[in-house]
Amino acid sequence: MNTFTLRPARESESRQIRELIHLVGINPTGLDWRRFLVAVNDRDEMIGCGQLKPHGTDILELASLAVYPEHRGKGVARAIVERLLANSPRPLYLMCESSLGSFYEKFGFRALSYEEMPRYFQRIASLAGLLTSLAQRQQRLLVMKLQ
């Protein structure tokens, strides 16, 4: 039986957080271990992580949600999101690949049109659109918001 617990990250896990973020291929900027919540197995080994990342004083992003491939499908990501949402102020934003939109909709997030996005996310979305076109990928960047 696979069980896990959630706890704040430790400074000694900062390198592993960065490595996991790179492994899963998501945005590697703003990885301050002090903002991270980690999921650990019964041997206290990190199996997943996530953070609430500030952008200035008025924008907060649910970010860096990552789970090692061998631990996916066991509720780890869901538990991390639920814990991070429990005490987070609103509104809360996130960016994800379009295929993950339905996962975040279960928590009340809704996709934003370009015009609804704060300027920070508009800049990222514009750059992501260009890169997606160049790479001819099927996925697109989705910016979502939770009120």
User: Is the pLDDT score of 143 beyond 70?
Assistant: yes
pLDDT at 15: 97
Question: What are the tokens at 98?
Answer: 């379009």
What is the CA angle 115-119-121, rounded to 5? 85
Nearest residue to 95 (alpha-carbon basis) of 72, 73, 127: 127
Q: Outline which parts of the chain fall under CATH 3.40.630.30.
A: 1-89
The predicted pLDDT at position 141 comes to 83
Total-model pTM: 0.90
| CATH 3.40.630.30 is right for the domain spanning 1-89 | yes
